[in-house]
Chains A and B, each alone.
Chain A
Amino acid sequence: DQQVKQNSPSLSVQEGRISILNCDYTNSMFDYFLWYKKYPAEGPTFLISISSIKDKNEDGRFTVFLNKSAKHLSLHIVPSQPGDSAVYFCAASVEGAQKLVFGQGTRLTINP
């Protein structure tokens, strides 16, 4: 039972354009969502998060959008840079649950 799904295993975007990574969830109890970025041979690093009381959170080039009715969140990267090439994981949590549920990941490749 995959509660958090990233249906696109890979995404290729031209440098300077917008990258949009998508994530869907099934558990309506989730109230906190995060995006992580992972380079090869390294551990994931936290990128940005959003609480269910918001529908948008922005941090520099990164913006996360949350659509609770559709149980969908997305990460926008503008403009995309070569260093953004990595695997991106979305994750979700229920307050008090003490743990995160991760999606399968999307490999983003930024082409020069």
Chain B
Amino acid sequence: DAGITQSPRHKVTETGTPVTLRCHQTENHRYMYWYRQDPGHGLRLIHYSYGVKDTDKGEVSDGYSVSRSKTEDFLLTLESATSSQTSVYFCAITPAALGEQYFGPGTRLTVT
């Protein structure tokens, strides 16, 4: 299994509060991704990173920001959480741009 962890695994927060999710890898892979999974929508890309300090938006990036200050960590921040951001969030890594991605165990976030 790819060495990828996510923290926290579960979080309940209130509308309007900031939330940061962490993805940590031990594989030294260049590419890291944040997805959200919602019923009827599958996995949708939020943001991704192709190197330290190099990030780009995915298809559902509004309301989210990311940072990658070192190879092993990719942080996803909800500046002001909304109920529409209640979801399961997955981090993924891959060594090459084209190829299979390896996913973390997920973080279940509930915004009340």
Contacts and interface: CB of A to CB of B under 8 A. Distances in A.
A100 B98 CA distance: 9
B1 to A, nearest CB: 9
Contact of A93 (B42, B44, B98, B102): B98
Contacts of A95: 97-98
B42 A104 contact: yes
Interface in B46-82: 48, 50, 56, 58
A112 interface: no
A18 to B, nearest CB: 24
A97 interface: yes
A32 B94 CA distance: 15
B42 A42 contact: no
B111 interface: no
Contact of B40 (A49, A101, A104): A104
Given A41-B106, A42-B105, A43-B103, A102 B43 contact: yes
A98 B103 contact: no
Contact of A44 (B41, B43, B45): B43
Contacts of A49: 99-100
27 contacts: A6-B42, A32-B98, A32-B99, A41-B105, A42-B105, A43-B90, A43-B105, A44-B103, A45-B103, A46-B100, A46-B101, A46-B102, A49-B99, A49-B100, A93-B98, A95-B98, A96-B98, A98-B31, A98-B48, A98-B50, A99-B33, A99-B58, A100-B101, A102-B35, A102-B42, A102-B43, A104-B41
Given A41-B106, A43-B106, A98-B56, 6 more contacts: A32-B98, A36-B103, A42-B105, A89-B42, A101-B45, A102-B43
Q: Which 6 residue pairs are nearest across A and B when measured between Cβ atoms?
A: A43-B103, A46-B100, A102-B43, A104-B42, A98-B97, A102-B42
Interface of B: 31, 33, 35, 40-45, 48, 50, 56, 58, 90, 92, 97-106
